């Protein structure tokens, strides 16, 4: 007989659920088509995990019609990410970190965008056997 299983959270879905009501622009894991004037894309990029903690790494891409608006949106997303630190139902967040936004215009379109690398440290979810 085995005990309960511990699984990491779907961090992309959790990030979208957390950030969507706070930043006021579309947030997704894929680039929407057609692309809205402003938005945020989150992509899980790996991390590490043990039986006690799940450290998820996330790439965040933020865009807007011009560089000042994209910078302001990136800083807004960063501040909300760093404030992510309490339980929101099943997910228990212990810590969140985020790099400074880096200005990297979209290589295909030249549109203004900022990129950040973020992490969130959570407790794995318990799944009954």
Confidence of residue 86 (pLDDT cuts 50, 70, 90): low
Count, residues in the chain? 129
For the chain, the domains span 5-124
pLDDT of residue 5: 76
| CB within 8 Å of 117: residues ≥ 6 apart | 45, 57, 58, 59, 60, 98, 99
Specify burial of residue 15 (Cβ count, 10 A radius: 0-12, 13-18, 19+). Answer: buried
For residues 64 and 52, the model is more confident at 64
Residue 92 has a pLDDT of 82
Q: pLDDT per residue over 7-40, tens digit each?
A: 888 999 999 999 999 999 999 999 888 889 999 9
CATH number corresponding to 5-124:
3.30.2000.30
Query: Is 128's pLDDT higher than 70?
Result: no
Taking every pair of C-alpha atoms in the chain, what is the biggest distance, in angstroms? Answer: 58
pTM: 0.90
Q: Which of 128, 100, 98 is nearest to 114 (CA)?
A: 100
The continuous run of DSSP H or E covering 113 comes out as strand 113-122
H-run or E-run covering 59? strand 54-63
């Amino acid at each position: 007989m085995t005990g309960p299983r511990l699984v990491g959270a779907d961090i992309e879905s959790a990030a979208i659920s957390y950030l969507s009501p706070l930043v006021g622009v579309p947030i997704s894991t894929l680039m929407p088509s057609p692309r809205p004037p402003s938005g945020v894309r989150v992509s899980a990029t790996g991390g590490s995990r043990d039986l006690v903690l799940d450290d998820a790494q996330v790439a965040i891409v933020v865009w807007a019609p011009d560089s000042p608006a994209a910078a302001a949106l990136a800083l807004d997303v960063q501040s909300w990410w760093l404030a992510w630190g309490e339980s929101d139902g099943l997910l228990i967040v212990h810590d969140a970190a985020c790099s400074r936004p880096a200005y990297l215009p979209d290589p295909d379109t030249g549109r203004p965008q900022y990129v950040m690398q973020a992490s969130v440290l959570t407790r794995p979810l318990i799944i009954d056997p």
